[in-house]
Amino acid sequence: MTDKTVTVTTPIDRYGVMGDPVSHSRSPVIHRLFALHTQQSLQYELLPVPPEKLEIAVRQFQRTGGKGLNITVPHKTEVLRLVDQMSERAVTAGAVNTLSFKGGEIYGDNTDGIGLLRDLVVNLNISVEDANILILGAGGATRGIIAPLLEMQPKSLMIANRSLGKAEALAVHFSRLGPVSACRFNAVPVSTPYDLIINATSAGVKGEAPPYPIDAISDTTYCYDLSYGLSPTPFSVWAREAGARQSVMGWGMLVEQAAESFNLWRGVRPDTAPVLKQMSIPA
């Protein structure tokens, strides 16, 4: 009789980010660093998926044993129809950036808002409570951050947008959560100084320069761009030149939202500071 040893190998847990385009995404680097730092064994891939292939790609990822996905532009709203269960914050945001696959079901969550708040409050020490906040833009990115910002009880939250109707619709939708109002992009009231201006338009990404409201900035204003790049974004350059107290790009939010997703998947929240440092992110 021969003594046979059978080695059973457990397949490595698979994660990834689906978007279009997605080749520029830093998520694989961030999640691999998180895995390294928390001694987790996992694989994280870039998954370019055009809108018409989203459903097939998600189902196939699920069928082949994938554990979790980040969902990015332009799929964050479209993916809602594929989830079986959704967190309250994803319902409020009307968008999902994190999918978890468990027991044959797809669970959708949104970690963008908490990611922004952690960067503002914990990393940058910016006080949101009692602040006068101005958000530029009224698209999907704005929708995802209004509720978490209002939860921090700012004094006021003004949404300015090129098309007034979209800003007004958001203000009406979120008015039960706090003092939120809307105005046209070029008619921002400036009687009270803004403590925080957040750029949530996609103008810079498209190489466009809208008439940012210069009178809304003073030397006490923090400016935060949800966009980020290896060189300063047009908004962050404008804010610096306009004399803002501090002008920051959204690298911290990117890393913080990733840490929240990682926590949902792995049950451990990685330390974000060393990752932000290791990514050599420009100031």
Of the pair 127, 163, the CB lying nearest ligand ATR is at: 163
* Residue 76: active-site member: yes
Which span sits near ligand ATR by CB under 6 A: 26-34, 106-114, 120-128, 195-203? Answer: 195-203
Nearest approach, Cβ of residue 176 and ligand ATR (Å): 22
Contacts of 79 (CB under 8 A, 6+ apart): 54, 58, 71, 96, 99, 108
**Which of 98, 100, 111, 201 lies at the binding interface for ligand ATR (CB under 6 A)?**
201
Binding mask 203-232 vs ligand ATR (x if CB under 6 A, - otherwise)? x--x-x-x----------------------
**Beta-strand pair 42-48/13-19:** parallel
Question: Which residue has the closest beta carbon to ligand ATR?
Answer: 139
Total site size for ligand ATR, rule CB under 6 A: 17
**Beta-strand pair 105-109/85-86:** parallel
Of the pair 25, 201, the CB lying nearest ligand ATR is at: 201
Phi and psi at residue 99, in whole multiples of 5°? -115, 140
Nearest approach, Cβ of residue 138 and ligand ATR (Å): 4
Cα angle: 108, vertex 48, 87; to 5 degrees: 5
Distance, CA of 282 to CA of 231 (rounded, Å)? 7
CA 169 centroid distance within chain? 21
Phi and psi at residue 184, in whole multiples of 5°? -75, 155
Which span sits near ligand ATR by CB under 6 A: 9-17, 60-68, 118-126, 196-204? Answer: 196-204
250 binds ligand ATR (CB under 6 A): no
Cα angle: 249, vertex 166, 204; to 5 degrees: 30
Residues known to be catalytic = 76
| Footprint of ligand ATR (CB under 6 A) | 137-141, 161-163, 166, 185, 200-203, 206, 208, 210
